[in-house]
Amino acid sequence: MKVNRRKLLSLLGMSPALLAGSRVEAEQKKKGPGSEPKLTAVSPKGTPPAVQLYSMAPRLDKLDGKTIYLVDATGFFGSDKLLEKMQVWFQQNIPSVKTVLRRKAGIYGADDPKLWAEIKANANATIMAIGH
């Protein structure tokens, strides 16, 4: 019985490209010892865009009378509870600090221009909970 290795690999959830290695090895044996196989690799990612660097925000000399946004950036389990506890801590220890709780829209990597504009207009500082 002849086994179709390509179909067998696809049934196992493996790429038929795995077969290419055995062909290269077979050709290598034909050529003899000391000759190197020629392999060509192409990245499917392409060229990434240039990274735009930003300087760090200036540091506050004090927190009294400032507004701090507490932002849940990922919705990771318990991050909202942590930020609520931080808000209580500020109320008890530095009551002049105004804290604002917000949940960023979308997944971690997604942009939230509305929230960023609100923070830029109203916040003196931001603490972001991004999960584990």
pLDDT digits (tens, 9 = 90+) for 82-111: 999 999 999 999 999 999 999 999 888 889
CA distance 107 to 102: 14
Q: Which of 61, 77, 70 is nearest to 91 (CA)?
A: 70
DSSP conformation letters of 89-100: HHHHH-TT-EEE
Question: pLDDT exceeding 90 applies to what percent of the chain?
Answer: 45
Which residues are 100's β-sheet partners? 69
Task: Read off the pTM.
Answer: 0.59
Question: pLDDT exceeding 70 applies to what percent of the chain?
Answer: 72
